[in-house]
């Protein structure tokens, strides 16, 4: 089931996001199972909203790539996000 995953990073901003994306070579190296991706800075903190094929796809991406990329790009400023998952009843793309 397609799942919306929202990540909120209270102490990070768009420059941090860009650094992590550069480390990941994203979006050129698109993760398996990622259907849609967006980011924004809201009230001074970074929010990332994705739609994945499943939570398992996202968890594998975190374990295999994202966690180390955040550490590499941000060093001691790296932080764990607040994560919110919502299973979607429908997900349409054009």
Q: Tell me how far apart the alpha carbons of residues 62 and 49 are, in angstroms, rounded to a whole number.
A: 14
Q: What is the pTM of this model?
A: 0.93
Q: What is the pLDDT of residues 9-56, one digit of tens each?
A: 999 999 999 999 999 999 999 999 999 999 999 999 999 999 999 999
**51 DSSP β-pair partners:** 4, 36
Label residue 57 by pLDDT band (50, 70, 90). Answer: very high
Domain at 3-87, CATH from 3.30.70.100, 2.40.37.20, 3.20.20.80, 3.30.300.30: 3.30.70.100
């Amino acid at each position: 089931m397609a799942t919306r995953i929202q990540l909120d990073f209270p102490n990070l901003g768009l420059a941090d996001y860009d650094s992590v994306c550069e480390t990941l070579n994203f979006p050129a190296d698109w993760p398996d199972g990622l259907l849609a991706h967006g980011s924004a800075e809201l009230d001074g903190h970074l929010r990332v909203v994705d739609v994945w094929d499943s939570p398992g796809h996202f968890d594998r991406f975190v374990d295999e790539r994202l966690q180390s990329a955040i550490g590499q790009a941000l060093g001691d400023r790296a932080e764990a996000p607040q994560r919110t998952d919502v299973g979607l009843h429908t997900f349409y793309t054009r």
